[in-house]
Amino acid sequence: MSIRIIVSLMALLLFAGYATADGTGGHLIEVNGKVWIQAPGADKKIARAGITLVPGTKILTGSDGKAEVSLTDGSIIVVQQNSSMVLSGIKRQKKKKTSILIFFGRIWNKVSKAVGGRAGYEVNTPIVVCGVRGTEFETAVADDGSVRVKVNQGTVNVQGDGKDETIKKDQEIDADTDGVGKIRSTKEKADWEMWQNQKRERLKTQGRSIMDNVKSRIMVRKERLEALRARQKDIEKKRELAMKRAKEGDQSAIDEIRRYNEELLAIADEIADLGDAAGCQFGLVDHFGDLATDPRFQMIDGKYVEAEAASMRRIKAMFDQMVQEGTDISLEAMEKMLDEMSDGQRGSLKFQKGSSKDDLFGDQKKE
């Protein structure tokens, strides 16, 4: 039995029963050339086959690097050379989802046929989001943020800029800051190097406008995030009032509390999706900043791009904090409510028939 097969089997055993609610994890199956990984809060280190990748781990490959990863849902990805990506570390409350973020570079995906039901598989890019169930496809992000999706088997749903396209076998689609293009039929092997070189030249000459476009996309998501957080806080206030009534023995408040809990869970998952989508754009902005300071790249308006990248990093810190609060708040509030209910006096809701945790929150195992 080959080492690669043994590592694959170890990965399957390791992740059997692993909950994906807290993010997307994986296991390095094979590493060639220069590859680095960086877990959340840790330093970057050289990648080696057999290493466990916790949710939020970043993977970077050099000019000769390639990494094959087995994900927690059984899917396989191959991170090609000169790529930067991260396994989503944002937890979901109800949705069971594998989520990958590509900042730049190219990834080959083979999605497990077991991904179905409530589960989903998404590849987030700075321009579009690719949603799939059981398929094989490639996703590439060029230095200027342009995206190309090429499907080898199955179908991929591509969403971005108000468009929703379904890409089938032997089809591909491009998208950039000007919008999503048309679907093309292609059976030829893609010339990724030529495509990447063309997009690099675009960034060199149009850096200012490209940066401004990505910045505007981030600000739109920031406004949406702020609105969702405000809605969460409003629902929590209403739930507190219902809790007071429930403690006083008002049985009708139970349904209200359950409804508020469901709304909070749904909003938390929407915030998680928003965090992944914006995370790609922040990652791309970082890449812009790095290229702008590299004298070899010779970007026109490099100083402007460098300054904007620094400004966007400060916005990212605030954005990440809001996402953290928005995805944690529902479960924390529920636990707090349970603690308060357990401290209730005899005759309160705690001691009345039908006041169990299931009554308060509903059956979380149901769809």
Segment 67-105, tens digit of pLDDT: 999 999 999 999 999 999 999 999 888 878 899 999 999
pLDDT the model gives residue 9: 38
**CA torsion 176→178→179→181, rounded to 10°?**
-70
Domain with residues 3-190, CATH architecture = Sandwich (2.60)
Q: State the average pLDDT for the chain.
A: 86
pLDDT on residue 336: 64
Whether residue 56 has pLDDT greater than 70: yes
Torsion, CA 231, CA 235, CA 237, CA 243, rounded to 10: -170
Half-sphere exposure of 25 (CA within 13 A, CB side): 18
Max mean pLDDT range (60-64, 160-164, 243-247, 335-339):
60-64
Q: What's the average model confidence in pLDDT over 25-49?
A: 97
- Is pLDDT of 357 > 50? no
pLDDT > 50? residue 130: yes
| Beta strand pairing call for 96-110 and 84-87 | antiparallel
Contact between 82 and 62 under an 8 Å Cβ cutoff? The reply is yes
CA 320 to the chain's CA centroid: 13
Ordered by start, the domain boundaries in the chain are 3-190, 203-361
Q: Is the dihedral of CA 197, 202, 207, 209 positive or negative?
A: negative
Token representation of residue 154: 């199955």
- What's the CA gap between 160 and 168, in Å, rounded? 17
| DSSP assignments along 263-292, one per residue | HHHHHHHHHHHHHHHHHHHHHHHHHHHHHH
> pLDDT per residue over 249-300, tens digit each?
888 888 888 899 889 999 999 999 999 999 999 999 999 999 999 999 999 9
Closest alpha carbon to 361 in 246, 230, 237: 246
Name the pLDDT band for 367 (thresholds 50, 70, 90).
very low
